[in-house]
A and B are shown apart, each in its own frame.
Chain A
Amino acid sequence: KAGVTQTPRYLIKTRGQQVTLSCSPISGHRSVSWYQQTPGQGLQFLFEYFSETQRNKGNFPGRFSGRQFSNSRSEMNVSTLELGDSALYLCASSLVASTSTNEKLFFGSGTQLSVL
């Protein structure tokens, strides 16, 4: 069974540009969550999608958005990039909503975004 796939692995952008990251969950998983990892901040929750609906959103500005398609694949978009957006963006999938009892997240390898 294939794991969570994130593309691209690395991205270099300049300030003001926008970027779209892609995530394909494990087959059969309906929930996709996005996290931002920066040194010293751990994994900061961005949002979660379940059956194409945004179920929850973290404390990030509106420049961060996402969506989920009918095949459960998800995309995350960041507009008007800032230097502080440089981070590892991780996608995780789960069978049901991530906060369901005993539910585990399965993470992809992430997309390393560098904003110059």
Chain B
Amino acid sequence: DTAVSQTPKYLVTQMGNDKSIKCEQNLGHDTMYWYKQDSKKFLKIMFSYNNKELIINETVPNRFSPKSPDKAHLNLHINSLELGDSAVYFCASSQGEGDQPQHFGDGTRLSIL
């Protein structure tokens, strides 16, 4: 039973489109995250969210927006996709704040044509 699951696994789309990536965790964690990993493998935190606050990395364009319908889900919406958005996006969760172990999903590989 997958602890952190994200869909789709692969996403190929045209520049300018709007897309969403879904993430669900069944660990009962109260904090969820979105990361972007580019071709150089650097892991960049985009958002962290718990039921108290959303923390946004100031370098993330406002075309990216997290949406959390409940504690177990944190979806990522991306508007007006650009070539530079091509990357692997990882969802993760932890119990409590960032000083707790994070569990990652398997990633979504986004390719912009």
Asked if chains A and B come from one complex, the reply is no
Q: What residues of chain B have their CB less than 8 Å away from a CB belonging to chain A? A: none
Q: What residues of chain A have their CB less than 8 Å away from a CB belonging to chain B? A: none
